[in-house]
Chain A
Amino acid sequence: MTCAEAAELAPAFVLGALGAAESDAVRRHMAACPELHAEMAELHSVVPALFGAVEPVAPSAGLKDRILAAAAIDLAEREGAGSRPAPSRPSPTQPRPAEVPRRGTDFGSIFRRPIWSAVAIAAALAVVALGAWNVQLRDQLTGLEAYRNGVVQVLDAAAQPGAQLAVLTDPTGSGGPSGLAAVAVDGSVAMVMRDLKPTTGTQVYEAWLIGANQVPVAIGGFKVDRSGTASFVTPHPAIGEGVVVALTLEAQPGATTPTPPILAVGTAHAQSS
């Protein structure tokens, strides 16, 4: 193709109005030609303006959820493939205490990927298990959204000066509930949990703080719906460093001592010196 032939096809090329053969020929010419083809550049610069000729239209409410779910599956597949060569990496469903960041580490960068990985895998498993877009999956996604928002809230709290962060995991290592808790310098606690079984009747999950005196103190109870996630912020007097955060399921609100088993537990560590 000559420069003159490419120039003749320029308007149709920039608008995508050539057949595949002609379009390929123009593309090959442009890649090899030393000339600038200024008119082609000028015509091409107009094309993005054509988007302005179209009125925005609201799509159906479920479209964003479907896109995010599909992206979560894609992310899970990517991270699943990436984790295979590294067998020492903890399973997303069985986080280990070794994941607790050390003092002075950038906990944000450490946590965002594993948490997202777990969220993504949860979404992927949900899709695979259910096989279709339905009410249960919508509940899952609602839970994922709530969990994500809760994680952001906890990490923001943990980023405050003097705050401590605890990673709560299932002490039996069998993939039970997990989550995060930030203990602020004033003692208030921001907490987010996932993989909780829904509460029934008068049941409540109760969060406990255990300080140096080893006496568990109830800091708040909450119910859980089908999403399996929960997050809350509760005021509490400061207990000190190294506080243990634990979670139990109680038959009714108002428990003064934790009822075994401990469903999730973690020790809070300061994030900055």
Chain B
Amino acid sequence: MERLASGDLGALDRLYEQYGAMAYGIAYRITGDRSAAEDVVQDAFLGAWRNAARYVDARGTVRTWLLSIVHHRAIDAIRRRRPTVELPDSDAAVPDTLTLPDTWADVELRLDRAAVQVALGRISDVQREAIELAYFGGLTQTEIADRTGVPLGTVKGRLRLGLQGLRAALLPPDAADRASRG
């Protein structure tokens, strides 16, 4: 990342080789449009290129940092298609969730695809639907309530229980043991 921050195009090349397909997968999942997804990925990699120096002080892996930028830009793109939506600050280079306090350091969850798929299978369909509509659909919790025809309080509950269920399923075994004993 230091090489990226110093303006090393080779470092950007390597970053793309490592995460380009994953970034595009996320952008395409959110936008549902190949051209828009490529615009998002290009925008995100350039954002990472220009803001790499800020990563030094951020927590989390390069993967999470980069893919969060992709997610942020993709959600921005689809929300702009819906002019009635109250838009967040689209100029923010780094998503909110990356500027959280250092005191939030936490145990590292298992993030590999197999573990995530298993975890998603352990929460209920309606919880998974609510999380996906929020995170990949770009809907606010109020919009999710409208879309699914359930009260807002129910949506809030589904999001909370769904995230808690995923976390429990993704905790490393030793951490899960500690949690169950504690």
Does B24 lie within 8 Å of A51, measured CB to CB? no
Does B86 lie within 8 Å of A46, measured CB to CB? no
Does A45 lie within 8 Å of B7, measured CB to CB? no
B89 contact set on A, CB distance < 8 A: 20
Segment of A63-71, A87-95, A245-253 engaged in the interface with chain B: A63-71
Our pick among B16, B136, B159 for the contact of A64 (Cβ within 8 Å) is B16
How many positions in chain A have a CB within 8 Å of any CB in the partner chain? 57
A41 contact set on B, CB distance < 8 A: 100, 103-104, 106
**Nearest Cβ in chain B — how far from A159, in angstroms?**
16
Q: Which residues of B in the span 158-177 have a Cβ within 8 Å of any Cβ on A? A: 159-160, 162-164, 166-167, 170
Does A75 lie within 8 Å of B7, measured CB to CB? yes
Bound complex: CA of A79 vs CA of B104, how far in Å?
A: 37
B180 at the interface (CB under 8 A from A): no
How many positions in chain B have a CB within 8 Å of any CB in the partner chain? 78
Does B156 lie within 8 Å of A42, measured CB to CB? no
**Nearest Cβ in chain A — how far from B117, in angstroms?**
7
Does A16 lie within 8 Å of B9, measured CB to CB? no
Other than A17-B144, A68-B12, A120-B9, give 6 A-B pairs with Cβ distance below 8 A: A12-B134, A18-B140, A43-B160, A48-B111, A53-B132, A67-B46
Our pick among B29, B104, B115 for the contact of A54 (Cβ within 8 Å) is B29
Show 17 residue pairs from A and B whose CB-CB distance is below 8 angstroms, ordered by the A residue: A10-B160, A16-B138, A18-B140, A19-B86, A20-B86, A23-B96, A30-B100, A42-B106, A46-B167, A51-B63, A52-B112, A54-B29, A56-B24, A58-B21, A67-B16, A78-B7, A79-B7
